[in-house]
Amino acid sequence: RSKSTTLGLAGLVIFALGYIVAAIFPCDPGCRPNEPSMSQLIHNVGGFIGYLLAPFFLFALTLAARSWPGAKWLVLFGSTSSFFTLICLFTLFPSSPAPGLSQRLLETLVLSWSIFCGIYLVKHAESRL
């Protein structure tokens, strides 16, 4: 229980909520129309809030994981993921040659971190029983 853990988990929840909003409000065909619909605008805002926070909440969780026993590999993965999600964030803009690729990579890193963190927590909980 630390501020880093709390901030990181809150960021993960916000990322998930943004993902849900983006799923409920689909993007227009091509996802980058000249005149976006209201659904497209909501989709973009919902998704972008989560993407904007991703590098920072991953970094916060990585800082917290440094004090977790046996989590050296999780810290390494979290540090790497934080760095690459930050790069992905800067390549999501319309002028980027492959914003969809950056988006998918960012999502993969966040979801992979979540899975690995879950695996760590399950193993750690079992060792306490």
What proportion of the chain, given as a percentage, has pLDDT over 90? 46
**Each residue's pLDDT tens digit, 43-79:** 989 988 888 988 999 999 999 999 989 999 999 999 9
In angstroms, the CA 62 to CA 82 distance is: 8
- Of 17, 13, 26, the C-alpha closest to 46 is 17
Q: Is 26 left (phi over 0), alpha (psi -120 to 50) or beta?
A: beta
**Which two tokens mark 66?**
């440094």
Closest CA to 22 of 35, 30, 31: 31
For the segment 110-118, the average pLDDT, to the nearest whole number, is 92
Distance of alpha carbon 107 from alpha carbon 62, whole angstroms = 17
> Tokens in use for 61?
């969780």
Q: Which residue reads 């980058």 in tokens?
A: 32
What is the model's pTM?
0.83
Dist CA 72 CA 66 (whole Å): 7
Q: Which amino acid is at 21?
A: V
